[in-house]
Structure 1
Amino acid sequence: MPEPSAPPVLSEVTGGLGRLTLNRPAAINALTAEMVGALRRRLADWSETDRVRAVLISGAGPRGLCAGGDLRAMHADAVSGGTATLDFWADEYRLNAELADYPKPVVAFMDGLVMGGGIGVSAHASLRVVTERSRLAMPEVGIGFHPDVGGSWLLAHAPGRIGVHLALTGGTIGAADAILAGLADVFVPSARLDDLAEALQTGDAASVVESFAAPAPPGDLAGARTWIDECYTGDDVTAIVDRLAASSAPGAQAAAKEIATKSPTSLVVALRSVRSAATMPGLREALDQEYRLSAALLRLPDLAEGIRAQIIDKDRRPRWRPATLAEVSPAVIDACFAPSPAP
């Protein structure tokens, strides 16, 4: 008989440390409904026992913590009218909120690729560790979606207008920029992660992590703050793109070109979502809004088209509907944000 496949989430308790390892390395640990359920159940169990003093979340394999959600499953629901993805998002967003409110220290190793849903299982942790291999991104506007998993809340609270820049470009950042943006806390060289994990078994989590912290290699965002803060003002994506294109900063002009490749509908939704999240009392309210947006975008054409272009056919040539920012209907955007029952 064939050997049973390994579970997609590994869990163990050593010393006082409960360790959760996302275990789909061939898929860069992309999240499934089974994985989200397993994480929630184990976290709930460990919250009730004195045996576990802290939790560590990491990813199996050398490529990264987590590349996001299962986009092929989302595509299938988007084209068929299915509802499994709605159930997945509801459970995933509950997990994000539970991580943020967890009664014990949660350490996240944000090593390698950390995108979309990977941000959701790590950036809400209390102690977030990045390495020289870390590559973080919320690239959802490139597939006709929006920054979810609490991304609107996280980006809304980044310094200045860095969060809007990351939301609209979907850009990838390294360790220093992740710390500057508030998505991570400390830099630890990847070669020391195993030693850090061992030390967490017996020591106070915050003190142990701090003892392993080192200066991060220089990033890019600190030097770009002037043009980012100048260009990303207001609530009009077109005006933002025009300012970027007219800027003398090469980085601003590159951002304008990058934004022009994204879904116009998603760009308008993302900007409004981040702006409104900044006024909300907490993460849970932002997640409620994100669920409404996710449900609405699942039924609009750009999500299926974006995933098709990036993942299914890989032609990298999405045909957005509508194709330009000028054609985006305010009524459609308002409908996305209309109140509805939270999950």
Structure 2
Amino acid sequence: MTEDAVLFDTWPTRDERRIGVATLNAPRSLNALSLAMIEGLLARLEQWADDPSVAAVWLEGAGDKAFCAGGDVVALYRAMRDTAGARDADFATRYFSAEYRLDYRIHRYPKPLIVWGDGIILGGGLGLMAGGSERVVTETSRIAMPEITIGLYPDIGASWFLSRMPSGLGAYLGLTGAQLNARDALLAGLADRFIPRERREALIAALQQGELARPNAVGEILADFEARSQAPESPLLRQFDVIQNLVGVPHVAGAVRRILDDGRDDPWLAANRRRLAEGCPITAHLIWRMRERHRHSSLADTFRDELNLSVQCTRHADLAEGVRALLIDKDKTPRWSYPDVASVPSSAVDDFLAPLWSPAEHPLRDL
């Protein structure tokens, strides 16, 4: 790992403990997660978990624009497209295995782990945030799972937590890549606290003055800094009944048709419709199928299944085409494998879900 891809520090506390601090340090790319960042962060989290002097962990992103704008899909594209002259067939497996192992560790972390979710939080950034024990959003937080725009699908454990949201909500968020503000995130169960950005330094000072060895001390301190009356209004709440009605059908093609045919004059709904209309048809099926497959799964089983599907996506055409159109050539005119969701045969979806490893050989078998 380059030395400064993730910055590590510790803050002393009054009771002679320490707070481990990890800062994703790639502000020019909005702190997009490289494989080196993932591996370095996981190694340090393991070290802090075993260190009795570390009472809690604080995770944030460098700069004032983003916590983390997702995974390094450009690196995935290069591995898929052999831009260096030697295609790395194993890169996707290494990348997604490390990312999901990190996300799973955060979900199961034995100490308070505070995620300062300020600014943009997309895809892989939400994977880091979702498992935190204290997930803080601010007035600048903008959260989305926009994988339908590139031909992937909401992974990073989203197959598990989207299926556990109120009926229809997870399906809608995945299908449309809807952008959520801080209030939306609280309602959807993707955040725990709203604390204004301007209170960050005072919050850190209070944590350092706290007796963090005492049970629930971190939560009590954070609660003192909450200011939910200052959180923005929620378009998700305003349109909640509409959303449930639109996706309240048994098949994905029907849900997509209802969303696209909905003519309500609302900017948030309209942006979501447009994203779905331009998105990858196979992705819509994968979102729907994975949500159904993991409604009752364990988190570990979900990550194992997501690893299989994510690597499969790199072996099919749409992911490379979506990344090319959005991030490489930037023409925003992807040529998807199918013209619309209704045209995708079930056999094509089954092909994506075909297992790549036996249970005994699976890279995440030890989760």
TM-score by length of 2: 0.88
Q: Is the 8 A contact 2:134 2:192 kept in 1?
A: yes
Quick one: distance in 1 between partners of 2:10 and 2:352? 43
Q: Helix, strand or coil for the counterpart of 1:108?
A: strand
**1:21-100 pair list within 5 angstroms:** 21-80=23-82, 82=88, 83-100=90-107
Quick one: distance in 1 between partners of 2:107 and 2:223? 20
Q: 2:126 aligned with 1:129, yes or no?
A: no
- Provide closer, same or farther for how the CA distance between residues 234 and 276 of structure 1 changes in structure 2, counting only shifts above 3 A: farther
Of 305-314 and 192-201, more deviation after overlay is shown by 192-201
Correspondence for 1:262 among 244, 265, 279 = 279
Identity of aligned residues (%): 36
Displacement of 1:70 in angstroms is 1.3
**1:290-305 pair list within 5 angstroms:** 290-305=306-321
Cα deviation 1:159-208 (Å, max 9, x = unaligned): 23221111000121110001111111110001111221232234221111
Q: 2:179 aligned with 1:172, yes or no?
A: yes
Cα deviation 1:37-76 (Å, max 9, x = unaligned): 1111111011111111110100011111111111211111
Aligned to 1:275: 292
Displacement of 1:254 in angstroms is 5.4
Quick one: distance in 1 between partners of 2:201 and 2:291? 36
**1:114-263 pair list within 5 angstroms:** 114-203=121-210, 204-215=217-228, 216-247=231-262, 249-251=264-266, 255-263=272-280
Displacement of 1:237 in angstroms is 2.1
Aligned to 2:213: none
- Provide closer, same or farther for how the CA distance between residues 245 and 29 of structure 1 changes in structure 2, counting only shifts above 3 A: closer
Correspondence for 1:323 among 326, 339, 361 = 339
Cα deviation 1:111-160 (Å, max 9, x = unaligned): 00011111111121010000000000111111000101112212122223
Q: Which amino acid aligns with 2:280?
A: S
Quick one: distance in 1 between partners of 2:285 and 2:159? 13
The alignment covers a number of residue pairs equal to: 338
Q: Which amino acid aligns with 2:34?
A: T
Quick one: distance in 1 between partners of 2:354 and 2:155? 17
Quick one: distance in 2 between partners of 1:283 and 1:70? 23
Quick one: distance in 2 between partners of 1:168 and 1:319? 18
Aligned to 2:325: 309
Quick one: distance in 2 between partners of 1:240 and 1:256? 12
Q: Is the 8 A contact 1:139 1:167 kept in 2?
A: yes
- Provide closer, same or farther for how the CA distance between residues 246 and 308 of structure 1 changes in structure 2, counting only shifts above 3 A: closer
Aligned to 2:10: 13
Of 190-199 and 90-99, more deviation after overlay is shown by 190-199
Q: Helix, strand or coil for the counterpart of 2:165?
A: coil
Q: Is the 8 A contact 1:142 1:263 kept in 2?
A: yes
Q: Which amino acid aligns with 2:281?
A: P
Q: Is the 8 A contact 2:149 2:275 kept in 1?
A: no
- Provide closer, same or farther for how the CA distance between residues 126 and 194 of structure 1 changes in structure 2, counting only shifts above 3 A: same
Q: Which amino acid aligns with 1:74?
A: L
Please identify runs of 4+ aligned residues in structure 1 that moved more than 3 A: 245-257
Quick one: distance in 1 between partners of 2:59 and 2:242? 36
Quick one: distance in 1 between partners of 2:250 and 2:278? 19
- Provide closer, same or farther for how the CA distance between residues 6 and 26 of structure 1 changes in structure 2, counting only shifts above 3 A: farther
Displacement of 1:257 in angstroms is 3.6
Q: Is the 8 A contact 1:78 1:298 kept in 2?
A: yes
Consecutive unaligned residues in structure 1, runs of 5 or more:
none
Q: Helix, strand or coil for the counterpart of 2:234?
A: coil
Of 99-108 and 251-260, more deviation after overlay is shown by 251-260
Q: Is the 8 A contact 2:260 2:277 kept in 1?
A: no
CA RMSD of aligned residues (A): 1.6
Quick one: distance in 1 between partners of 2:61 and 2:273? 34
Q: Is the 8 A contact 2:159 2:290 kept in 1?
A: yes
Cα deviation 1:260-308 (Å, max 9, x = unaligned): 111001111011112222221x211111111111011111111011001
TM-score by length of 1: 0.94
Q: Is the 8 A contact 1:159 1:180 kept in 2?
A: no
Q: Is the 8 A contact 1:241 1:256 kept in 2?
A: no
